[in-house]
Structure 1
């Protein structure tokens, strides 16, 4: 792990590593321990016990064994994964994990957490987003660092090949006797990411051996393009006579934009308010209504639900309004 990590201060007082016990996170933990010793940084390991596998208790104990050998405090938290969520087990487990990380960060005073996503993970993410039709901005995939719940998450290994990580894990095992755990769900093709890894990746490896590196480069270029688009959208929003709190803007000014920029600034506006992105169909329907309302002059009648808010148009201003509990469209 290099001294210069994107998003990390030059001399962080404290740092944490999300440690599952697999080869990727274990080797990141090992490198972080060396980094912390050299930079006089207080290091913590965070382990999330999902309770989804019979071996989960053993994995927790195994992680604590590694932490003990590295003289690093390890904090474990058991979570309840809501398997009834409509967006699937993988997404539910991920959300539970981030909530656990946030809780552990508050307890320890940590504001920077390292995650062990590597080149293969990034390539799989790009592939999945291509298959789901995410669009140009989504193809930037995983960012080197991002903020969530007041915490900065960092991914220093997005350009590291997993073969290199596995080689290090094997060498460490020979020296220390500690070996990573193996989560069987990582190879269970009932899960979407595992299906890409187990079914699609071998075919791509055989025909296009450099596909991972190419997709990672694609993600990096997409991230650069996304930054430019966000700068354009920010300028466009600034030209829409926004309210001081950013919760509304001028419909007439919005209509003067081209249709692609109308869509882009709506997405940017919602993101700036911390709201989820709508589907392409819903966004196009909102745009159709906004154009129609202005033409017919009865903008008071527009009100569409988006999650926990309403998007309304009143007296020529597009605005957000909180939805009351139990309130329907």
Structure 2
């Protein structure tokens, strides 16, 4: 399982070790972004050694590129490192320690950005990617309960786990939500974690149905296995605009995922998708050109199909 040395992942590591003694391995990603990083690794090692839990540490360069979110860069580097470390260790199931508060923060961030159903569905409890099965078993557990659980076992901050100092940096929106908004929600809507989780589950269910429809429409419009081979334009135009949008989102997500095995963040924006739909609607003749920047690449007309290229023009 992934362990950062913080309270949440330490609690999950100990719980997994109790549930599956002798079967658990710890994966630690050393980001090197702050002076405390060596202390995080030392804390994980101090937790693992008495329990004879094998520890695999992976060092990464998580610095962000110009124009890239530091959080997105760190997350992408972390998942890439965890995937590589798990495969090298012969692991096929990876547990992550995100909990109920993290899920609420993710949903609120999605709402603040005007996200659609994939964003409102927030974090899945289980999924498969990169040849691994990923699990988030703590999504129903508030973060405070994890600390109570640790303290009941005689563990305290600074000895049993370390607090990441960046979590208190309110320059990051997620930290402001945690510090300012969640305490208010606790007062106004004491059951908000459970009710927000239900809303996220409803969004996830609706998105699964849309995905099923998109798979059917992809087959009917000839979307190919190659990420650059999109739908045939004539069949695409025969669908309603809403179904066109759903299919195009699905196709672009698949194309991006195949071009970037670690997920990426190159999905079409709402404005880009609307412009692409307008171009498709106007494409009434064989010679009509379609060309539009979408995410990290471009969508272009290639004969009678749409194609996506993973490079800027």
Normalised TM-score (structure 2): 0.89
Q: Aligned to 2:291, which of 262, 278, 303?
A: 303
**1:249 aligns to 2:231 (yes or no):** yes
Match in the other structure for 1:316:
304
Alpha-carbon distance change, 258 to 192 in structure 1, aligned in 2, over 3 angstroms = same
SS at match of 2:15: helix
Aligned length: 303
SS at match of 2:231: strand
**1:44 aligns to 2:29 (yes or no):** no
Distance in 2 (CA, whole Å) between partners of 1:35 and 1:45 is 15
**Any idea what the Cα deviations from partners look like across 1:107-140, whole Å, max 9, x if unmatched?**
2121211000111110110011000111123200
Distance in 1 (CA, whole Å) between partners of 2:111 and 2:29 is 30
Match in the other structure for 1:70:
51
Q: Is the 8 A contact 1:45 1:74 kept in 2?
A: yes
Match in the other structure for 1:292:
282
**1:121 aligns to 2:102 (yes or no):** yes
Match in the other structure for 1:10:
none
Match in the other structure for 1:217:
198
Distance in 2 (CA, whole Å) between partners of 1:223 and 1:125 is 14
Q: Is the 8 A contact 1:85 1:92 kept in 2?
A: no
**Any idea what the Cα deviations from partners look like across 1:198-247, whole Å, max 9, x if unmatched?**
12222222222222221111111111111111111111222213446572
Alpha-carbon distance change, 209 to 147 in structure 1, aligned in 2, over 3 angstroms = same
Q: Is the 8 A contact 1:21 1:62 kept in 2?
A: yes
**Any idea what the Cα deviations from partners look like across 1:53-81, whole Å, max 9, x if unmatched?**
32221221111010011110111122222
Match in the other structure for 1:57:
38
Alpha-carbon distance change, 85 to 42 in structure 1, aligned in 2, over 3 angstroms = farther
Match in the other structure for 1:170:
151
Q: Is the 8 A contact 1:51 1:78 kept in 2?
A: yes
Over aligned residues, Cα RMSD in angstroms?
2.2
**1:278 aligns to 2:278 (yes or no):** no
SS at match of 2:101: helix
Structure 1, unmatched stretches of 5+, are 1-16
C-alpha displacement of 1:312: 2.2
Q: Is the 8 A contact 2:297 2:309 kept in 1?
A: yes
Match in the other structure for 2:247:
265
Normalised TM-score (structure 1): 0.85
Q: Within 5 Å, which residues of 2 pair with 1:203-242?
A: 203-242=184-223
Alpha-carbon distance change, 82 to 161 in structure 1, aligned in 2, over 3 angstroms = same
Q: Is the 8 A contact 1:187 1:197 kept in 2?
A: no
Alpha-carbon distance change, 304 to 164 in structure 1, aligned in 2, over 3 angstroms = same
Match in the other structure for 1:20:
4
Structure 2, unmatched stretches of 5+, are 258-265
SS at match of 2:25: strand
Runs of 4+ in 1 over 6 A off after TM superposition: none
Distance in 2 (CA, whole Å) between partners of 1:173 and 1:163 is 16
C-alpha displacement of 1:50: 1.6
Match in the other structure for 2:14:
30
Alpha-carbon distance change, 235 to 84 in structure 1, aligned in 2, over 3 angstroms = closer
